[in-house]
A and B are shown apart, each in its own frame.
Chain A
Amino acid sequence: MRKKAFLATAVLAGGAVLGTYAVAKEQLPTHLKELLELGMHPGHVFADEGSDYYHNLKGPNGKTCASCHGQDGAKLVGAFAKMPRYYKDIDKVADIDLRILSCMTKYMGYDPKDKKFKKKFTKKLRIPLATYVATLSNGMEISVKLDDPQEKEMYEYGKKLWFMRVGAREFSCAMCHTVLAGQRIRLQGLPNPVKQKSYNHWPAYRFGSDRMWTMEDRVRSCFKAYFLHLNKWDEKKDWVKKPPPYVKEVIALELFMKYASNGGVIEVPGLLR
């Protein structure tokens, strides 16, 4: 009996390892599969644009990204594989979006309270830059470590949020992505980010909305679509809106999912329906 049980678990584990980006690829419609085989899709344009901003965009200080991190992102290779993590200089656990924003306000001289800059950042600069930095660690394994006590605390918080049922529909992330994972909502297959290591193709280009999404956008729009409002947000104001950007809740969930997908090989920009 024991042997059988062991075998069964081994097979299950094997299945879990296989089902990374491959599952998402199988579920794509045929015209998108063809585009993947050709090896070029609109996601790559965003990476190209990001590299343009990285080298040429000057802040008020006269610095570019390249003046600190080196030409062609020499010092940023493999940085995305370790994110989100604790940074000493900003005293926060940061994902890629928050890290880029704090870099721009702290070292490039932009004013963090300037509304014009914030709008420009969220609409124009954030996604190309994040995509470019992510592409630098293509082909590497995700290796998030929980060394710092703040990271551990964040991870526990993310785990709690993952299984917590909240909001008007009493939904949790785990309902779709752990309990019902492998089944479908309408035509859309539900991945299991914890078992399948399916973080490796984010940020991804989504054909449904015809734009690039980082994980922050993905988590925030899930909060909106399933009314996952938390008690501390204003119920009347926020319950059908997206949560404010770069909040603790979103980053904690990202950390939980990315730590679970440790060992997955990064392939960005991904292509999803």
Chain B
Amino acid sequence: MATIGRAIVRVPRKVRKGQAFKVQMVITHPMETGLRKDKKTGKIIPKHVITKVEFLFNGQKVTTIHSGPGISKNPYFAIMMKVGGSGNLVIKYEDNKGGKWEKKVKVNVA
């Protein structure tokens, strides 16, 4: 199993100024809904889902995704965005059990 919370983010290598581009990411996470039962013991498996994904560009908020138990295991997220100049895109995501992670990528404007 891949470790919980590990993610990859992909942006185009070079971006034009003012042009919309796609930011893609995949997070490894079990995304337990809290409704399933363990087949062996009969007990309910506790809920464990990603609740919030936040996109920040140079400290400025781009967008926030509020996710919940309706989303699949190892989810894929993508947004379209525009930038005025080069900078760092920081993605913060957290789950309901207190896990917090951060991922940083560089966006190069040609």
Instruction: Decide whether A and B assemble into one complex.
Output: yes
Q: Which residues of A contact B (CB under 8 A)?
A: 35, 38-42, 44-46, 48-49, 123-124, 128, 210-212
Question: With A44-B26, A123-B1, A124-B1 known to touch, is A38 a contact of B76 (CB < 8 Å)?
Answer: yes
Could you say which residues of chain A place their CB within 8 Å of the CB of B47?
Answer: none
Question: With A46-B2, A210-B74 known to touch, is A40 a contact of B10 (CB < 8 Å)?
Answer: yes
Could you say which residues of chain A place their CB within 8 Å of the CB of B7?
Answer: 45
Could you say which residues of chain A place their CB within 8 Å of the CB of B26?
Answer: 40-42, 44-45
Q: Give the interface residue-count category, chain B.
A: 10 to 19
Chain A residue nearest to B75 (CB atoms) is A42
Are A49 and B3 touching (Cβ within 8 A)? yes
Query: Is B28 an interface residue when CB atoms closer than 8 A count as contact?
Result: yes
Chain A residue nearest to B73 (CB atoms) is A210
Are A44 and B1 touching (Cβ within 8 A)? no
**In-complex Cβ contact of A42 among B3, B10, B24, B74 (8 A):** B74
Dominant secondary structure at the A interface: helix
| 10 nearest A-B residue pairs (beta carbon) | A42-B74, A48-B8, A210-B73, A40-B24, A45-B28, A45-B8, A49-B2, A42-B26, A45-B26, A46-B2
Could you say which residues of chain A place their CB within 8 Å of the CB of B71?
Answer: none
Could you say which residues of chain A place their CB within 8 Å of the CB of B8?
Answer: 40, 44-45, 48
Within the complex, the shortest CB–CB distance from B26 to chain A, in Å, comes to 5
Query: Is B6 an interface residue when CB atoms closer than 8 A count as contact?
Result: yes
Cα–Cα distance between A46 and B10 once the two chains are bound (Å): 15
Are A40 and B76 touching (Cβ within 8 A)? yes
Given A40-B24, A212-B2, 19 other A-B residues pairs in contact with their CB atoms under 8 A: A35-B76, A38-B78, A40-B10, A40-B26, A40-B76, A41-B26, A41-B76, A42-B2, A42-B28, A44-B26, A45-B6, A45-B27, A45-B74, A48-B6, A48-B8, A49-B3, A124-B1, A210-B73, A211-B1
Chain B residue nearest to A211 (CB atoms) is B1
Within the complex, the shortest CB–CB distance from A49 to chain B, in Å, comes to 5
Chain B residue nearest to A40 (CB atoms) is B24
Could you say which residues of chain A place their CB within 8 Å of the CB of B73?
Answer: 210
Could you say which residues of chain B place their CB within 8 Å of the CB of A44?
Answer: 8, 26
Counting chain A CB atoms within 10 Å of each CB, the highest count among B3, B26, B73 belongs to B26
Cα–Cα distance between A210 and B6 once the two chains are bound (Å): 15
Q: List 27 A-B contacts (CB under 8 A).
A: A35-B76, A38-B24, A38-B76, A38-B78, A39-B24, A40-B8, A40-B10, A40-B24, A40-B26, A42-B2, A42-B26, A42-B28, A42-B74, A44-B8, A45-B2, A45-B7, A45-B26, A45-B74, A46-B2, A48-B8, A49-B2, A49-B3, A49-B6, A123-B1, A128-B2, A210-B73, A212-B2
Could you say which residues of chain B place their CB within 8 Å of the CB of A46?
Answer: 2
Cα–Cα distance between A49 and B3 once the two chains are bound (Å): 8
Could you say which residues of chain A place their CB within 8 Å of the CB of B78?
Answer: 38
Chain A residue nearest to B24 (CB atoms) is A40
Could you say which residues of chain A place their CB within 8 Å of the CB of B74?
Answer: 42, 45, 210
Could you say which residues of chain B place their CB within 8 Å of the CB of A45?
Answer: 2, 6-8, 26-28, 74
Cα–Cα distance between A35 and B24 once the two chains are bound (Å): 11
Could you say which residues of chain A place their CB within 8 Å of the CB of B3?
Answer: 49
